[in-house]
Amino acid sequence: MTTGFIYCQKVQNMFTHTTALDSPDLDALLNAFPEEFVKISPKEQAMAIALYRLLALGESVSHQHLAEVSSTPVAEVHRLLGQWLGVYHDDAENVTGFWGLALGEMPHKLLIDGRELYAWCAWDTLFLPALIGNTVQVISQCTQSGKEIQLIIDPEHIASVYPETTVLSFVMPDENGIREDVINSFCHSVLFFATSELGEQWVAEHPENFLISVENAFELAQMINHRKFPGLMTQYRNGVS
């Protein structure tokens, strides 16, 4: 058993659906993420931000276009996209999804300047606006009741949440699971609920999970963004063309 896994298990044991919702230790959560999830080189940071912003325009992204926009040799783009986790391509080898953002339909709809995109999990909807440098309207639903949930998230703030009682379920990331299949191992456990009571019903059947408020989940998202992309979010604030 790896040291990282033991640490994640200790952090997991710190949280119940009550304590995490009321007073989560966000630093402990942040430090439980695998290092490769939160630390990449400056070159990779620039290319990742460019890829997010190109995908946010609503069309698949060719390696050549990404190379041009990110000022990266195309051979290096080929290498990194083949090496990175969480990259999805279509049959033409154009990128259609990248770490939380997708062109294909998924449960969490994102409206960006009238364009429809999708997020892999509820938490993705909170960290993506800062990375794409744009306000996002989120349309999702409560996993337990089916009630529609709507949020408006800008790069630095939560503009609105409906219903106001909305919470998220969360689970500590498993390093091996993320490498093998991040969507099944993590995203399928990070969901929206219209109230904490509805979330508690679901968590009772999924005890490895806990609840976290939208506000705390957003703060954790910003912490992850700033650790993974220090200084670059401001540089790319105006997006790509």
Q: How far apart are the first and last CA of the chain?
A: 46
Catalytic annotation, pick one of 121, 142, 154, 181: 121
**Which ranges constitute the DSSP H helices of the chain?**
3-14, 19-22, 26-32, 35-38, 42-55, 63-70, 74-83, 124-132, 175-185, 196-205, 214-228, 232-235
Catalytic annotation, pick one of 8, 142, 174, 187: 187
- Active-site residue 8, yes or no? no
Q: Other CB atoms closer than 10 Å to residue 85's CB: what's the count?
A: 13
Catalytic annotation, pick one of 124, 142, 154, 174: 124
The amino acid that residue 89 corresponds to is: H
Q: How many CA atoms lie within 13 A of 57 on its CB side?
A: 16
Strand partners, 168: 192, 212
Q: Is 42 exposed, middle or buried (0-12, 13-18, 19+ CB in 10 A)?
A: exposed
Gyration radius from the chain CA atoms: 17
- Active-site residue 142, yes or no? no
Whether 209 contacts 203, CB under 8 Å: yes
Q: Which two tokens stand for residue 197?
A: 């009571």
The amino acid that residue 100 corresponds to is: G
Active site residues: 121, 124, 187
